[in-house]
């Protein structure tokens, strides 16, 4: 379990997902639907900020789970290390990468004690992770520590709004049950200005924020899920009312 203030969420669930990590119609199918849009954004941001040679970019994917983002980035040519607290998830990630012929290093570890030297990483990925951390400041400090000056952090997370509560918790967890109940707490969601401030305190300058949401309108999503189908693809939008995606650069003086 994780707690921030009075909020408690069930992070232990991820230890139990097992092979479901890679089941595109399983308990984490929404993450699969999101993956193409967010990996495309992360790839574009990295190449713009760090140069076109993916093989030269050292990536640390913090809270990688079963490796959905790590493996896709590695398949594009990045030098990827995926890190997660769940040994079971890491084992699933290793097996899937091996079966797919993709070279990814996976390690068990904590977002609050990253197993990397100071200024040794070019790109840190925190995808669907920030809203699960009980100490956002401590994790941000660690991200800043391992990033080299000029390095990049890319992220996606959930805004703390009424719309996010309705869609991410009421609809997704309680009604449609496409997200495991207890996965999220509204009070642990993070407003973009709060994240911008947390980053700035550690020399990370947020340079872009975009909305991230399903392409299909809510009534079509509802009908699709009731049929047992997927939510469908996600895309970037101008609205950050629910989920948002972005990037921040570590200052050269950092």
> Residue 93: what pLDDT?
97
Residue corresponding to tokens 């401590």: 138
Residue 140 is part of which domain span? 2-250
Q: What angle do CA 43, 45, 47 make, to 5 degrees?
A: 70
Please report which confidence band the pLDDT of residue 176 belongs to, taking 50, 70 and 90 as the band edges: confident
Write down the pLDDT at residue 164: 92
**112 in Cβ contact with 142 (< 8 Å):** yes
Is residue 6 exposed (0-12), middle (13-18) or buried (19+ Cβ within 10 Å)? exposed
Checking if the pLDDT of 223 tops 90, the result is: no
- Is residue 87 within 8 A of residue 110, CB to CB? The reply is no
The pairing of strands 234-237 and 121-127 is unpaired
Domain count, the chain: 1
What CATH number is attached to the domain comprising 113?
3.40.50.150
Could you report the per-residue pLDDT of 83-128, keeping only the tens digit for each? 999 999 999 999 999 999 999 999 999 999 999 999 999 999 999 9
Taking alpha carbons only, the member of 238, 236, 248 closest to residue 37 is: 236
Q: Which residues make Cβ contacts (< 8 Å) with residue 82, sequence separation at least 6?
A: 61, 64, 67, 70, 90, 93, 104, 105, 106, 107
Structure tokens at 28: 């984490």
């Amino acid at each position: 379990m994780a707690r921030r203030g009075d909020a408690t969420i069930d992070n232990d669930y991820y230890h139990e997902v097992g092979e479901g990590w890679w089941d595109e119609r399983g308990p984490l199918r929404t993450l699969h639907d999101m993956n193409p849009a967010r990996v495309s954004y992360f790839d574009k941001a990295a190449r713009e900020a760090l140069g076109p040679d993916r093989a030269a970019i050292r990536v640390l994917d913090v809270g990688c789970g079963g490796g959905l983002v790590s493996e896709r980035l590695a398949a594009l040519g990045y030098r990827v290390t995926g890190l997660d607290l769940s040994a079971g998830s890491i084992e699933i990630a290793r097996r899937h990468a091996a079966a797919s012929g993709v070279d990814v290093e996976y390690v068990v570890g904590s977002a609050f004690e990253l197993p990397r030297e100071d200024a040794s990483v070019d790109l840190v990925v925190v995808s669907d992770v920030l809203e699960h951390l009980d100490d956002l400041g401590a994790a941000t400090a660690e991200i800043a520590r391992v990033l080299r000056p000029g390095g990049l952090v890319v992220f996606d997370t959930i805004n703390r709004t009424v719309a996010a509560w309705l869609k991410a918790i009421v609809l997704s967890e309680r009604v449609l049950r496409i997200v495991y109940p207890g996965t999220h707490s509204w009070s642990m969601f993070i407003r973009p200005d709060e994240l911008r401030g947390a980053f700035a305190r550690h020399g990370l300058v947020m340079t872009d924020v975009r909305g991230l949401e399903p392409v299909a309108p809510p009534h079509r999503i509802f009908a699709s899920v009731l049929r047992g189908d997927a939510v469908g693809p996600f895309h970037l939008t101008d609205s950050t009312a629910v989920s948002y995606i972005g990037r921040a650069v570590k200052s050269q003086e950092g």
